[in-house]
Amino acid sequence: MIGPGMIGQGMTLAGKRVLITGGGSGAGENLALGFAAAGAEVVIAGRRIDALEAVAAKASGIRVVQADVTDEASVQAMFAAAGPCDVVIANAGAADSAVMAKTSLAQWNAMIAVNLTGVFLTLREGLLQMPGWGRLISVASTAGLKGYAKVAPYAAAKHGVIGLTRSLALEIAKKPITVNAICPGFLDTPMTDHSVQVIAEKTGKSLTEARGVLEAMNPQNRLIAPAEVTATALFLCGPGSEGINGQAIAIAGGEL
């Protein structure tokens, strides 16, 4: 987990309100704790209220809102409950795996709904309520910058997030607002643990061997720590980041 000692010297987000979707686990949890440590008021949103409350209990200044990012009315209600937000981080996402020939339309629609439509709704509503200075950030993936076998719908959705980011950046360029996508490789999170389990079940590899398959995709031979995503998001909200707009920032150890 990222702590106060890892935040840029003198950096504070006191007086800023930050909304983070998918805030109940993994990168979302780390983002919530990192921004709270930087002095921000943090609102975390997601479908699992128990998970959200467990994160909120770990630090002061964090409150929870139950929401489904794939539902337009739910996203609008989320922002109404949160209040005006200076920083909006579209982190909610999900992964699935199948070869194209065995991918159902339902699987395709599910991946697009949470990983692309959810980001669209979150960033659109976030922008509409942004009071002035603002930062729009999505947690995308290296799958938005390259292809991976057996995850075509997921990769297509993440590529869509990059296109959305680049287009929106041009629309808001004359405002004191930026929009960027953070693109980590495989993260050391429960979502990746699930992927490891699937690889082990389908290949007969041990869990350690299956994890090694994902680690080997990073030239540094490791999974990316959620704290690295948080540090990047904090940088994008700090002084000196004003000209970084419309970017897809890879955190992948040289994979890209």
Measured CA to CA in angstroms, residue 65 lies from 29, 32, 139, 178 at distances of 14, 13, 19, 25
Q: Contact, 93 vs 22, CB < 8 A? A: yes
Q: Is 154 a catalytic residue?
A: yes
Measured CA to CA in angstroms, residue 131 lies from 85, 112, 137, 146, 235 at distances of 7, 29, 16, 35, 21
Measured CA to CA in angstroms, residue 236 lies from 14, 42, 148 at distances of 16, 16, 27
What does the alpha-carbon distance between residue 236 and residue 133 come to, in Å, rounded to a whole number? 13
Q: Let me know if 190 is exposed, middle or buried by CB neighbors in 10 A (0-12, 13-18, 19+).
A: exposed
Active site residue: 79, 108, 120, 154, which one?
Answer: 154
Active site residues: 154
